[in-house]
Structure 1
Amino acid sequence: MNNARWAGAVGEQGRPRGEISGVEVLAGTSFKHQHLSAILADGLEHGFFEAHAENYMGAGGPPHRALAAIRENYPVSIHGVCMSIGGRGALDTTHLARFRDVVARYEPALVSEHLAWSSHGGTFFNDLLPLPYTEDTLRTVCRHIDQVQEAIKRPILLENPSTYVAFASSTMSETGFIEAVAQRTGCGLLLDINNVFVSAANHGFSATTYLAEFPLERVGEIHLAGHSQQSDDEGEPLLIDSHDRAIADPVWSLYTDVVARIGATPTLIEWDSNLPDWLVLRAQALTAQRIMQVHDRSLVQEASDVS
């Protein structure tokens, strides 16, 4: 099998689009090495796989052999988790150079990073921390995205965060901030629908309203994941973007609504801990494919009716 044909070209308004038409809708999963044999034996037609860039910044060894085996047969996306695009300090140029080299080595269909910060004053925090949405932060984020895009010579997709605190100093909404970043830098967007659901539940806003305000025309990839529920110090429910279980029904519902609006869009199932067997993860991707197939046909029929 070799369906590694996904061009990842940039369309109008900076939206990276794959070669998707008819039933050839791409839904993929996080790539985990323990699934390699099962993937090669019982793969994912019209699928793709996402790898965290930081796991492949060494020169060689088993990680590269495994990802190279996947890359021979499937498109891949490279997802960064440590760039600290929202950090007040300068980007780590050594890390950026390694990130650039991973992108050059695997020529991924899509490249993405997070709207978050992870380092400050020379200290790295193993987390994706939230930002105040201000003009000062906007300038910093845009400067860092410009630097990343210049280094890799292509646009990135910026992912919306899951958050557990909000800043009183924010002067714009999250959706307004993200739209301004995309307009100023030309980057595309990675819409993580589970992040929207988690943040909406934690902060008490409407996920549907958030998505109505989100610049969907710039979305080049969608993430779906499972979340867990804890309680905060006051005993109120607190959702955690844990990536350790199947996608919840309300997240599937939000995803269906988005696909009905924008059509088939590369969709990635994130599952990073408490890993299931490959067939369980594969089934989640196939569910996303079916949703895209249904709504792609609906959009084609609507266009035909109009003409």
Structure 2
Amino acid sequence: MTALTAGVGFKPQHLDEALACTEAGVWLEVHPENYMVDGGPRLAMLDALAARHPLSLHGVSLSLGSAVPPDATHLARLRRLLDRVEPALVSEHLAWSVYEGRYLPDLLPFPRTAEALARVVDNVQRTQEALGRAISVENPSHYLALEGHAWSETDFLAELAARSGCGLLLDINNVHVSAHNLGFRAEDYLDAFPLHAVTEIHLAGHGVDETRDGRLLIDSHDAAVDDAVWLLYERVIARAGHVPTLIERDGDVPAFDRLMDERRRAHRAMSRLREAA
């Protein structure tokens, strides 16, 4: 299989173009929750994509930061999907979204304490045992400063990877948004990030909360990747080298060709690395 370079988040309206795409290194990401069914057109569509391109399954509902383990039934359904489509990449978020059986519509942060680290390590290990493979865990977006942290986020993620054996998914737009909202330098965060554990990078666009006079950025995934994020990406891959990179777009989704234009920009950046090596 050709090495993965840059991919795009798949949307059903792009099915024909995605199946016809022949560019080297391209891959597609989906949220597995949309395809954890027993049959029907959605699963048939995913089968067709899996036969044509490498896939990434990027989960949004395991709630690895919760005080309770991931739901066993959900993990079993996810394992069946993995066995069916054999994805190249599997990932989830460093967040919680479940409380007393209720699912919340956001990926919420938590204080990075020793207790939280032990809990997340256990949840990740349970997940990996159930799925029969390592997963990667994504750094979150932040909109306000929480109190009670005993670990920096980069150290917390490094320790999580070391203890659980998971990989890390570095979302550079999340870093840019969080740096703006919390008042730290994105470059400092990325310089401290454990790049040795990164298996995947995400790039996305963001929006501005107009009610806050532009002081709050929102990880909205409804715009093109910002130039500032592209600059941070170049900084990261100069150190990390070739890392599969995804263009995320979940709102105001453009035509497939426009998404592929952004994908080609990431692909060219990695190609320049190879040429310079």
Question: 5+ unaligned residues in a row in structure 2: which ranges?
Answer: none
**2:216 aligned counterpart, secondary structure:** strand
Q: CA deviation at 1:120?
A: 0.7
Q: Is the 8 A contact 1:133 1:174 kept in 2?
A: yes
Q: What does residue range 5-24 of structure 1 map to in structure 2 within 5 Å?
A: 5=1, 20=3
- Relative to structure 1, the CA distance from residue 43 to residue 33 in structure 2 (aligned partners, 3 Å threshold; closer, same or farther) is farther
Correspondence for 2:173: 194
Correspondence for 2:273: 295
CA distance in 2, matches of 1:272, 1:57: 19
Correspondence for 2:8: 29
Q: CA deviation at 1:44?
A: 3.5
Correspondence for 1:17: none
Correspondence for 2:61: 82
Structure 1 residue ranges (4+ consecutive) displaced by more than 6 angstroms after TM superposition: none
Q: Is the 8 A contact 1:243 1:270 kept in 2?
A: yes
Equivalent residue for 1:125, pick from 86, 104, 107? 104
Correspondence for 1:262: 240
Q: What does residue range 231-270 of structure 1 map to in structure 2 within 5 Å?
A: 231=210, 235=213, 237-270=215-248
Correspondence for 1:229: 208
Correspondence for 2:38: 59
Amino acid across the alignment from 2:176: F
Amino acid across the alignment from 1:205: F
Q: Is the 8 A contact 1:85 1:117 kept in 2?
A: yes
- Relative to structure 1, the CA distance from residue 283 to residue 236 in structure 2 (aligned partners, 3 Å threshold; closer, same or farther) is closer
CA distance in 2, matches of 1:135, 1:42: 46
Q: How many residues align?
A: 277
CA distance in 2, matches of 1:67, 1:192: 24
Q: Is the 8 A contact 2:208 2:214 kept in 1?
A: no
CA distance in 1, matches of 2:79, 2:50: 17
| Percent identical | 48
CA distance in 2, matches of 1:39, 1:102: 20
Aligned Cα root-mean-square deviation (Å) = 1.3
Q: Is the 8 A contact 1:260 1:295 kept in 2?
A: yes
Q: CA deviation at 1:232?
A: 5.5
Amino acid across the alignment from 2:264: L
Q: Is the 8 A contact 1:175 1:215 kept in 2?
A: yes
Correspondence for 1:14: none
Correspondence for 1:274: 252
Cα offsets for 1:230-284 (capped at 9, x unmatched): 1465x45100000111000000000011111111110011001111000000111
Equivalent residue for 1:116, pick from 92, 95, 101? 95
CA distance in 2, matches of 1:89, 1:40: 40
Q: Is the 8 A contact 1:51 1:78 kept in 2?
A: yes
CA distance in 2, matches of 1:263, 1:90: 35
Correspondence for 1:11: none
CA distance in 2, matches of 1:231, 1:90: 38
CA distance in 2, matches of 1:43, 1:32: 17
1:40 aligns with 2:12: no
Q: Is the 8 A contact 1:160 1:192 kept in 2?
A: yes
Amino acid across the alignment from 1:148: T
Cα offsets for 1:153-199 (capped at 9, x unmatched): 11100100111123211111111111110010010110000000000
Q: CA deviation at 1:98?
A: 1.3
**1:276 aligned counterpart, secondary structure:** coil
Correspondence for 1:286: 264
**TM-score, scaled relative to structure 2:** 0.97
**1:72 aligned counterpart, secondary structure:** helix
CA distance in 1, matches of 2:111, 2:77: 28
Correspondence for 1:304: none
- Relative to structure 1, the CA distance from residue 256 to residue 68 in structure 2 (aligned partners, 3 Å threshold; closer, same or farther) is same
Q: Is the 8 A contact 1:116 1:161 kept in 2?
A: yes
Equivalent residue for 2:127, pick from 141, 148, 163? 148
CA distance in 2, matches of 1:236, 1:274: 20
